[in-house]
Chains A and B, each alone.
Chain A
Amino acid sequence: MQQAVQSKSMSSDTNSKKLSDFGARYGIHLALLGLIVLSSIVSPAFLTANNVSNMLLQAAPLGIVVIGQAFVILVRGLDLSVASVMATAAVVATSFDGQPGDVVPIILVALAIGVATGLANGLLVAKRNVSPFLATLATMIVLQGIRFAYTGGAPSGNVPHFFRIIGSETVYGLPYNVIILAIIAAFFWVLLHKSVFGRQVYITGGNPSVARLVGMNADRVIIICYVISGTLAAIAGLVLSGFVGIVDNWVGRGMELDSIVAAVMGGIALSGGRGTIVGGLIGAAILVVVFNAVLLFGMPVQFQIIIKGIVIVIAAAFYVKRGA
């Protein structure tokens, strides 16, 4: 009798487990699909070519940052400095005269800022055992100060035409910045999911002691992940500066939290070692769709913030926990 009861509860256990497996795996895809369907029913303007193209334009910088954030979260970290890197890169981009010849130096300087920040973060976390929160908070603040000192409080200058095109124009309806996102995503997808380094990322994030005992240089893996995040943030900053056109000291503000939220909603576990790039990008897409829908539904902009909070609560309480 007792055995019968046990086996019955066991089988219902496996059923619910299958269900939650499915939920953990495809819940995020379904959520995005549901949002899109809902939005297009409520607002006919949602699925117009113009609006979709607009959303993609907005999604690209966030998507680029999320990819970097994904690497960092996979090795049990998080990167709060990304928005600061973006703004600093953007400020650099505008401080030149806007001549075509400035493009290459701008890109090099921006990338150098991203790499240096990532290196600082990675060294602090891996070699000094500073918590990722504190390390990246500190570099965020330092960069912010450097930026203010550099601009004297008010950035001036023009965004070179090249970045304007990259940031806001389209080719055959496809925004350039989305093409850049696609190239970056493809490259880092291969790196994470197909390369030896990617495997080292998963093992280091999943269990750092195991990584060390199977002969991997876990510290180096962690440092490289932060460098990837810093570099991608710098690229995202340039792309975003081209989208906005004018630059202030706060380009990309809020992007550090948005990117973490997107990554976590996309199934990248904060405990490390689990998640995919595609998941992170879908998380980013959900955020963008939600923001867009708020505007299309005629709600005031402020509602974006409230809804963002609600989305996080829903994701954290009903989706992320089950996945983790």
Chain B
Amino acid sequence: MSRELFKFKGGVHPPEHKAESNTRPVHAAPLPKKLVIPLRQHIGNPAKPVVEVGDRVLKGQLIGAADGYISAAVHASSSGIVSAIGPAVVPHVSGLPDECITLSTDGLDEWIVHAPLDYRAMEPSDLRMRLRDLGIAGLGGAVFPSAVKLDPGATHSCPTLILNGGECEPWITCDDVLMRTRADDILQGVAVMRHLLGSTEILIGIEDNKPEAIAAMQAAAQKMDYAIEVVAVPAIYPGGGAKQLIKTLTGREVPSGKLSTDIGIQVFNVGTAYALARAVHHGEPLISRLVTVTGHVLRPQNMEVLIGTPMHTLITLAGDRDGTTGVLMGGPMMGMPMPDLDVPVVKATNCILVKSRDLFPPLPAALPCIRCTRCADACPAELQPQELFRFAKTGDFGRAQEYHLFDCIECGCCSYVCPSHIPLVDFYRYAKSEIWAREKEKRAADLARERHEFRQFRLEREKKEKAEKLAAKAQAKRAELAAAPATEGPAQTDADAKKALIAAALARAQAKKAEVAPKNVDHLPPEKQREIEEIEARRAKIRELARQPLETDEKKS
């Protein structure tokens, strides 16, 4: 270990609890009867369904196409029939439903025809679009579409590529187990990343509490024909955060509001590298991942799980126990409570953590903030959590933004050390979502203003155009009339022109009236004409007769 390591500020040392789950061998979870595959599993636009209810789909078949640049496709995790397309409960803290495709599996697990990609011969942009269509997204937690991250952009290269095997969050061991068992595949994925990004320096950061993973990765790295440095980094939470790992390995900091690519560094999770290797070397889309099932279960372990598998089947498989008080997706520091255990495993699901009263005793009631600033000491983003808390609580979001609320990575160190047990991160999440909602409202208001102003302008313009058209028409008519009688007499005044105009209009109207007179009595033979005259005479007589008694009646009254 010749590399000089750096230390980021803050961080905490929560109990690791890794040994529970990382010793058991990895098994594939059995095929469930029903797979629920959400269309929004990644950051960006949700995928668009390309199948219909009743269709038979094969394993690995595209069922939701990527929609736009920042998006990723979703695929059938096994063969079967599409039984529903519509809202279903997804693993989200709100418990709200979202668009999903539900498959009834047929148990055959029949693969669609797939072939490896010759990535070296492919145009980089084509390869990226192919990866997007294979549904590759970051498996570290953020689920950002990898194709976007693999675009070096205008600089055409990203000198440093960091593979994140930190896995600092307690309880979770899926990356650890992946590195132990599939190190060679991971490095195949790294080769693709290197090819696309043009990186010259490749670092793999692994926390030093995973010696087996470090040994496996080092052994695999030796086989490659270019330098890959496997670096053991000190185990401290959140040392596996992208910005923290960059700081530890390179000593550089990502400036506030910037991306790591702005300083020439790109970070990927080891799981993403593995998925990339499967995609490129086997043509397989991202339809399964390693998931740690741990906590209050009989056999904590890692499983290879198909995307869309209901979480409760995995908990049953790991042996559920009495006294469960809830389930988190993710670890104890950043994990989200699941509203329902029917929710499916998605690309973001790295861990299913079953809670119990013994393992996770309920937090004591919160006390007021005493401004001890222990949170500021623990904050790895070097923020002032106590100030952010004050602003978020009182709704002073502008000040919260001035104090760089959006640099908060929601790691939970502040809540962990708070002696008053204040759920600080909940306040920051609340403040962030309020700010986003306001920005959205502001954009909507700006659009409405613009459209309203354009409407006013349009109405004004239409009025003007109408008036101009009328004026032009009148002018033309006048000029025409003025020109016609000019041959007769030169003494033409404006009033005369107007008079002539009226006369002409009258003549036109009369001509029109004459035109619409009934035509079926014109050009009749004389006998018909006589008949009509007789009828008319009779009619006149009857009319005369009818009027007389009426007049006499009137006289009487």
- A and B found bound together: no
